[in-house]
Structure 1
């Protein structure tokens, strides 16, 4: 058993929590090669898809909310343990794995990224479910089925790595233990400290946006929590499926979320606009947020070309460039399947 597993088990009996809704603990590992200004290893821990903490091999450690800061304050040995894992132990494991993958691809230099995600989700009805996935250079690479104790290559090039991992039976058993036992305990610990914070509900600000008179109308909700939400367009009270494009739920910098759903209005007659509305539903909130399709409430930057000042054009261009950089940085690798870790501990990939 790892030192972290022993530490967690020693405090397990003090924290018993029975979740009433789904909760998750995810750990995201990013290992880099060829980036002179980036740490070799970066680790983010998310509770219910909101970042709770971050550390990297350059000794940067941050805790993002008072409830998580209290967890470390009440358990002083925990910070030293996480620092040791993040700065000394885990970089060696992950760097070794990245070097092995680069060797397999005959890559001796250049920019390369290994990303790895572990997830533990708790549900009082279905119990705990676990997910382990790895990506390399922006593509799905390998995954681990905890129940079947089986590695699966997501592309033919990963077969050799899969065979190496499956040949080490002791490591497979350690992986299963760390995922099913240690991560579950850590999730319960996090929920005990952050119960009131995690069970809160924050309603959204909902608005209608449109880039130009001919583009789709986007129903945009932002600032809501938790991320268990749905949004859809209706016509005459019936949910629409055609001419509708659903966006993903994305995180905001303050720990809340945003989402959008677009409606193609090219075939909607002006006199029929009043028959359409957008509905936002948030888990734990009885009343829906509803906004009717109305030109008077649509927010847009569009004005006739002759009225667009040159400064405004430059401002919009610069804004879009910054937005593109932020989105690219956030989603260097986003797994192709929906949803899908645990706290800081030994590498299992």
Structure 2
């Protein structure tokens, strides 16, 4: 049985793998990506719900909230508070213009940034009305782009406000990233000190596969984060399993992927070993019936 290395260009390709027959076992390098989003919602003609609500979302988790009924912000960072009040006033003015009729209407605004490895990947500022896209801002062009014909009147007015548009650009280009980093340094230090190991095995003809994590050769129980079996689109399947460890952990970790087959009455295993101090180090182990060729 022969195996060959593939995708060994680390700079060009973030995946390393070892190909064994039709199986491939990967170490996936996970980038440090984060998203900070300010969500603002204004509602008309509702007695039960607050007239205005806003929330700050970091990596899918709500870290701050405000509504017009409680009039209290559940956050201690002054910069975040100031931005929430500022956006409250802006959205309230727009709400008066868009809510001239009776009935319930919803205006939403989403503003934030995606940051990868400490560098801004993209900034976004979007408005939605009654569940549909309304208008979006381009920080590079300092212009607004309507999503529906009815929003062209907003574009014509907002494009003239160069000072506000420059403020939006400044927030999206730098201040949003500063807020994200500051909040992370205060509340998410633990997650920043974790190393994520991801094991990906692909090319299986059925879903009879499972993965296990080992530390120094001993099986880890309840340490794997819900391994997922997914279709590849070509009739084969893949399994992806992730383990998070402390950055100072000097133990050796390995991921073992096992495939069972009724036909052979045997089990096949692929093993990937993670060695501290080496960028990537692979030790493949393949078990197969000696009296038959290895098949998928």
- Taking structure 2 as the reference length, the TM-score comes to 0.55
Aligned to 1:120, what secondary structure does the other structure show?
Answer: strand
> Which residue among 170, 195, 205 is the counterpart of 1:236?
205
Aligned to 1:29, which of 15, 30, 40? 40
Deviations, residues 102-129 of structure 1 (Å, cap 9, x unaligned): 3xxxx42111111111121222386442
Larger Rg over CA atoms: 2
Q: Distance in 1 between matches of 2:164 and 2:226?
A: 39
Which residue number corresponds to residue 171 of structure 2?
Answer: 178
The size of the alignment, in residue pairs, is: 204
Alpha-carbon distance in 2 for matches of 1:97, 1:258:
44
2:33 is equivalent to residue 49 of structure 1: no
Give, in whole Å, the separation in 2 of the partners of 1:180 and 1:231: 35
- Higher relative contact order (CA closer than 8 Å, sequence separation 6+): 1
1:325-336 superposed matches below 5 A: none
1:40 aligns with 2:37: no
Structure 1 spans left out of the alignment, 5+ residues: 1-19, 64-71, 203-225, 239-256, 269-275, 295-349
2:73 paired residue number: 61
Greater strand fraction, Structure 1 or Structure 2: 2
Aligned mates of 2:198, 2:46 — CA distance in 1: 37
1:269-280 aligned at under 5 Å gives the runs: 279-280=239-240
Q: Cα deviations across residues 161-196 of structure 1 (Å, max 9, x unaligned)?
A: 111111211211122122223212111201211343
**Is 193-202 or 40-49 further displaced after alignment?**
193-202
Residues 195 and 90 of structure 1: is their aligned pair in 2 closer, same or farther, counting only changes over 3 Å? closer
Change (3 A) 1:277 1:176: closer
1:230-256 deviations in whole A, cap 9, x for unaligned? 999853389xxxxxxxxxxxxxxxxxx
Deviation at 1:282, TM superposition (A): 3.8
Q: Deviations over 1:249-291 (max 9, x none)?
A: xxxxxxxx9998877xxxx9xxxxxxx7652344868877979
In structure 1, what is the Cα distance between the partners aligned to 2:201 and 2:147? 33
2:21 alignment counterpart: none
Instruction: Confirm or deny: 8 A CA contact 1:280 1:288 kept in the other structure.
Output: no
For the aligned residues, what is the CA RMSD? 4.1
Matches within 5 A, 1:103-252: 107-124=100-117, 127-199=120-192, 235-236=204-205
- Structure-1 separation of matches of 2:67 and 2:201: 39
Whichever structure has more helix as a proportion of its residues is 1
> Partner residue of 2:214?
none
- Shift in Å at residue 293 of structure 1? 9.9
Q: Look up the SS of the partner of 1:167 in the other structure.
A: coil
Residues in 1 aligned to 2:111 and 2:151: alpha-carbon distance in whole angstroms? 18
- Give the Cα–Cα distance (whole angstroms) in 1 for the partners of residues 96 and 205 of structure 2: 58
Tell me: CA distance 1:280–1:291, structure 2 relative to 1, closer, same or farther (3 Å). Answer: farther
Q: CA contact under 8 A between 1:24 and 1:120: conserved in structure 2? A: yes
Tell me the SS of whatever aligns to 2:46: coil
Give the structure 1 partner of residue 6 of structure 2.
none
CA 1:261–1:112: 2 relative to 1, 3 Å: farther
